[in-house]
Structure formats: C-alpha cells, structure tokens
Amino acid sequence: MTKIIGLTGGIGSGKTTIANHFMTAGIPVYIADDEARKIMQSAAIIEEIQKTFGSAIFENGILNRQRLAEIVFNNPDKLKLLNGIVHPAVKKHFDNWILKYKDSPFVIYEAAILFESGSYKNCDKIITVTAPLESRIQRVIQRDNTTRENVLKRINMQWDDNQRIAKSDFIVENIDSKITESEVDEILKILKNS
C-alpha cells in the first residue's frame, strides 16, 4: 500500500521548495493548500461559505479571498468554521487523487496545517520544514504582498516549530539551499529504502 509522507512547516518556511524537490525526484506530491483554493471555487463550497459568512465577502458573485482571510485570521472560531467546510472536501479529493498512485511506494502530502487539521493522523511519516522567523516573515511579505502584522497573525494561528518537531520523523532546516537539498536527498534515500 502507498505510504503517505506528510510535509509541513509554518508559513514561509519553504515547504513548496521542498515539495518541488520531491517532484523533481519523481515523487507524486499533493499540495493541500493549492487544492483547497481550487475546491473553494466549486459551487457547493461557495454556497456553504456564503451561508456561513454572508454575501459581504463576495464581489460580483466572486469570493473575495482577501476579505475572507481578514475575517478568519482575526477570529479562531471563524477559522474553525471555514476549515470545517474546506477540510472534508480536501480529504475526499486527496483520497481520490492517491488512487492514481497506488503503485507508488509513497506520496508526499504537503499541508501548512497538517497537525492543526488532524491530517497528520493519516500519515506514515512526517517531515517538518523550519526556517528562522525573520526569513519566514520576509518571504511571505514578498510572496503575498502583505504586511508584517498580517504575516504574524497567520503565524500565531499555526502550531509553533517545537510543537511540529515533537511529532515529526524528519526535520529540514531551510536556511541554505544547498544544505537543504542534501537533507531532502538524504530523507528521500531513507524513504526509498524503508
């Protein structure tokens, strides 16, 4: 049976860079956040979001993700409500996706909130990506064209590195790209041989 290797880390830690490295090595990778974004555009999910959060977060019938983010990242209860709508749909999507890779020894399931969502329970091994806080903040500010305050709010809604590390099998410190690549290659070797 195909093993599920969870890949997680705080916002801006460089999970996507690591995921891309696995993809380049020919390993199937499921990026939960990307899939959640697509799923949030489906009629059924849009309807649920509108019922739960009202029509103020829509512009011309289109979900304003920025407005929704402002609501949920300022209110843990609202974030729980949104996750309760999106996570079951992502799980169902992943369960269908993995069927295509039943001959692969393992796949990578990349998710920022692997632990917070409970998805880690479905993983055979877990890789946590860490990076210095300041590097993470700068990466997200550049990537999302947002403010330091917004990044810190999102960081504070997630588990901290120590919590993730305590439940992980592998840790990748994403500071120097060459060292990071060799750490990932080492993990890849271990996974292929287990």
Domain residue ranges in the chain:
3-193
- At the second CATH level, the architecture of 3-193 is 3-Layer(aba) Sandwich (3.40)
Q: Is residue 128 a known part of a binding site?
A: no
Question: Is 16 within any annotated ligand binding site?
Answer: yes
Q: How many C-beta atoms surround the C-beta of residue 16 within 10 A?
A: 18
Q: What is the pTM of this model?
A: 0.91
For the stretch 5-59, pLDDT in tens is 999 999 999 999 999 999 999 999 999 999 999 999 899 999 999 999 998 999 8
Q: Is 6 annotated as a binding residue?
A: no
| Residue 168 marked as a ligand binder | no
Q: Is 51 annotated as a binding residue?
A: no
The rounded distance, in Å, linking the Cα atoms of 188 and 8 is 16
pLDDT tens digits along 120-154: 999 999 999 999 999 999 999 999 899 999 899 88
User: Buried b vs exposed e over 126-140: b needs ≥16 C-beta within 10 Å?
Assistant: bbbbbbebeebbebb
54 labeled part of a ligand binding site: no
Determine the Cα–Cα distance for residues 2 and 168; give it in Å rounded to an integer.
19
